[in-house]
């Protein structure tokens, strides 16, 4: 019988950092382990208030917003300017596409002189 506390089976996560380049393009860097990302960024704490339980205990880094869970086991961090831009894009209402339901009606007008006859 396997005890839950004795052996933790940890799901592998990819740690993704999204920043903005000098021309305004997105720069995405993936790290394959927590150790790898710690070498490049300064850890200032651990997440203890995320509503997603799988993110609790993940590192919090200086100058980055996160952790956020992305699909496929990716833990995402963003620079503040990327976070602000992505939040604005996400919160804007989607523009509805207008579709024509009927063919347009073409009305022809006769010259006034033709009406008098």
Express each pLDDT in 1-10 by its tens digit: 334 443 344 4
CA–CA distance, 34 with 47 (Å, rounded to integer): 14
Give the global pTM: 0.67
Exposure string over 84-94, b if 16+ CB within 10 A, otherwise e: eeeeeeeeeee
N- to C-terminal Cα separation, the chain = 103
pLDDT in tens, 30-83: 999 999 999 999 999 999 998 888 899 999 999 999 999 988 889 999 999 999
Is the dihedral angle over the CA atoms 62, 63, 67, 70 positive or is it negative? negative
């Amino acid at each position: 019988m396997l005890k839950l506390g004795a052996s933790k089976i940890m799901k592998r996560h990819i740690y993704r950092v999204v920043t903005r380049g000098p021309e305004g393009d997105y720069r995405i860097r993936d790290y394959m382990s927590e150790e790898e990302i710690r070498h490049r960024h300064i850890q200032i704490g651990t997440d203890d208030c995320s509503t997603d339980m799988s993110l609790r205990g993940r590192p919090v880094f200086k100058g980055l917003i996160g952790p956020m869970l992305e699909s496929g086991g990716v833990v995402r961090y963003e620079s503040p300017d990327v976070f602000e831009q992505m939040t604005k894009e996400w919160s804007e209402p989607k523009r509805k596409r207008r579709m024509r339901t009927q063919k347009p009606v073409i009305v022809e007008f006769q010259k006034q002189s033709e009406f008098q006859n």
